[in-house]
Amino acid sequence: MNIMMIISIILILITTFIMMLASLISKKSIVDREKASPFECGFDPFNKSRIPFSLRFFLIAVIFLIFDVEIAILLPMIESLYSSSLMSWTIVSTVFIVILLVGLYHEWNQGALEWSN
Query: What percent of the chain has a predicted confidence (pLDDT) above 70?
Result: 77
Look at residue 76 and tell me if it is in a domain: yes
Q: Which of 15-19, 50-54, 58-62 comes out lowest in average pLDDT?
A: 50-54
How far is it, in rounded angstroms, from Cα 77 to Cα 93? 7
The residue type found at 91 is I
pLDDT, residue 57, reads 81
Q: Which of 13-22, 77-86, 94-103 comes out lowest in average pLDDT?
A: 77-86
The number of domains in the chain is: 1
Helix or strand holding residue 87 (H, E): helix 86-110
pLDDT at 6 over 90: yes
The three-point CA angle 56-75-102 to 5° equals 50
Look at residue 65 and tell me if it is in a domain: yes
Average pLDDT, the chain: 82
Better pLDDT: 90 or 38:
90
How far is it, in rounded angstroms, from Cα 102 to Cα 108? 10
pLDDT, residue 8, reads 92
pLDDT, residue 74, reads 83
Look at residue 75 and tell me if it is in a domain: yes
Range of the domain at 68: 55-110
List of residues 6+ apart from 103 with CB closer than 8 A = 66, 67
Residue 108 pLDDT level (bands cut at 50, 70, 90): confident
pLDDT, residue 1, reads 73
Look at residue 11 and tell me if it is in a domain: no
Look at residue 73 and tell me if it is in a domain: yes
41: left (phi over 0), alpha (psi -120 to 50) or beta: left
List of residues 6+ apart from 38 with CB closer than 8 A = 45, 49
